[in-house]
Every structure is written in structure tokens, then in C-alpha cells.
Amino acid sequence: MKPAKNNSATPKAAAKNVTVPAAKPVKKPANSGKPARKRPAAPPVPPPAPTSDMEVTDVEIATRAYFIYVSEGCPPGREMQHWLDAEAQLRGQ
């Protein structure tokens, strides 16, 4: 078997013979020019449950506090205030 014939004397010369494919043009996003999408509006706060002789559970208070949190735009660090507001609303105070 004959060895392959080398057309160039140096690796540098061989690199010059290599063709590189042309770069593809960059496409603009389809929605350029449109305003950015806004976050959907917060869900409405459901009315407090009617007060009765039954005890209000922590789950009910937590659920109400969550809806207050979302209705205010999800501010950080107001967990205790949301809990107290929810508790007062549910207990009718």
C-alpha cells in the first residue's frame, strides 16, 4: 500500500487550502418593535368567608394572606402584616 501523497510541505500551507463556510446572517426576533409583554394582572382578592361560631383555621388564614400578598404586587418582607390582616378579616375584627 502506498502512503498518501502530501500536497503541502508544511501544516501552515495546508491550512490555507481549507475553506470555511460563510456565516449565516443573524435574524431579528419576530416581535421586534412591539412593546414588551406585561405581567398579567393579579387575581382579585376573594371576599372573606362569613364569620360563624366555627374557629378559623391556619390554612384559611394562610390562603387569605396569600391573596392579600398577590393583590399588593408580591412585596417582600410583609409576611407578618399579611397574616395579621388576613386573620382580622376572617375573624371579623
Contact 71, 45 (CB under 8 A): yes
* Opening angle at CA 14, ends 22 and 24, nearest 5: 5
Per-residue pLDDT of 3-60, as tens digits, reads 666 555 566 655 566 666 677 776 666 665 666 666 667 777 776 666 566 788 999 9
Q: What is the pTM of this model?
A: 0.46
Domain that residue 68 falls in: 55-93
Q: Is residue 60, in this structure, part of any structural domain at all?
A: yes
Q: Is residue 74, in this structure, part of any structural domain at all?
A: yes
Domains contained in the chain, number: 1
Q: Is residue 35, in this structure, part of any structural domain at all?
A: no
Q: Is residue 93, in this structure, part of any structural domain at all?
A: yes
Rounded Cα distance between 93 and 51, Å, is 10
Q: Is residue 41, in this structure, part of any structural domain at all?
A: no
Per-residue pLDDT of 70-86, as tens digits, reads 999 999 999 999 999 99
